[in-house]
Amino acid sequence: MDGHSSHVDVDFHWAARLAKIELVFMPPHSSHVLQPLDVSVFSVVKSKYRNQIRDLASLDDAAPVKKERFISYYHAAREDGMNERVIRAGWKGTGLVPYCPGRVVESSQQSIQKLEGLSRRTRTVLQKAGKAIGNANSRIAVQQEQISRLEYQVQSTGSQRKRKRITIDQNQRFADVERIKAMIDQAAAETAKKATPRALMAPETVYISPTTTTFESLCTQWQL
């Protein structure tokens, strides 16, 4: 078990003792080489999930289909990782079953820790190189995501049903040309009528004939 103090307490120890369970705690910073789940199961699940989640980069975060696919993708990744073959490989990789301490001692993780210390200048160069590689990988990832999104949009647009072009029978048009011409002229006349100023349309409505106007008609009578 992981020996971190936040994972176990006295009550846990006592409960194990009453149940006659022998507890064995791993040394600090060794779970990555001694814990079967870390060695096999978790890495398989993460790898399967990352490969499938790339398909969702072209969808909007609020799209319902994206949430549905997230659940199905995680379920598929979990099914691939949480199976008997992968679990047994984890126990074998940690040297627990079958018991083989040499697997841990000779693991690549332990070999890295045994390397001689590097000079400060070498570490600085490696850090800068690693940072540059990380930035390049980030730019590539963004570009790949943009390409995937554009490809999805192109596929979505191409899959939509194209509008059917209406074929006009020229013989029928020629037979109805008089009616069509009359409708076009009528529409043009109505458009011109709406565009004509009101004063020009009906000048008689604003014109007052002087022959019918008298002085009495222009006076207003008030009663007090």
pLDDT tens digits along 140-174: 888 887 787 777 777 766 655 555 555 555 566 55
pLDDT tens digits along 11-53: 888 888 888 888 887 777 777 788 888 888 888 898 888 887 7
75 with 90, same domain? yes
pLDDT at 124 over 80: yes
pLDDT of residue 26: 78
Q: How far apart are CA 61 and CA 99, in angstroms?
A: 47
The mean per-residue pLDDT over the stretch 71-97 comes to 87
85 with 106, same domain? yes
**Listed residues 123, 138, 159: the one ending a domain:** 123
176 within domain boundaries: no
- pLDDT above 90 covers a percentage of the chain that reads 0
Give the confidence band of 177 by pLDDT, cuts at 50, 70, 90: low
pLDDT of residue 58: 60
108, 134, 135 from 140: Cα distances, Å: 29, 10, 9
* Domains in the chain, number: 2
103, 123, 126, 156 from 116: Cα distances, Å: 22, 12, 15, 55
pLDDT at 190 over 70: yes
Give the confidence band of 187 by pLDDT, cuts at 50, 70, 90: confident
180 HSE (CA, 13 A, CB side): 7
- Among 122, 76, 178, CA closest to 68: 76
pLDDT of residue 159: 55
Q: Find the domain containing 2 and state its range.
A: 1-33
94 with 40, same domain? yes
72 within domain boundaries: yes
The mean per-residue pLDDT over the stretch 70-75 comes to 84
pLDDT at 217 over 80: no
pLDDT at 134 over 70: yes
Q: How far apart are CA 188 and CA 42, in angstroms?
A: 75
223 within domain boundaries: no
171 within domain boundaries: no
Amino acid at the residue 16: A
90 within domain boundaries: yes
Q: How far apart are CA 110 and CA 107, in angstroms?
A: 5
Q: What is the pTM of this model?
A: 0.42
Number of H helices, E strands in the chain: 12, 0
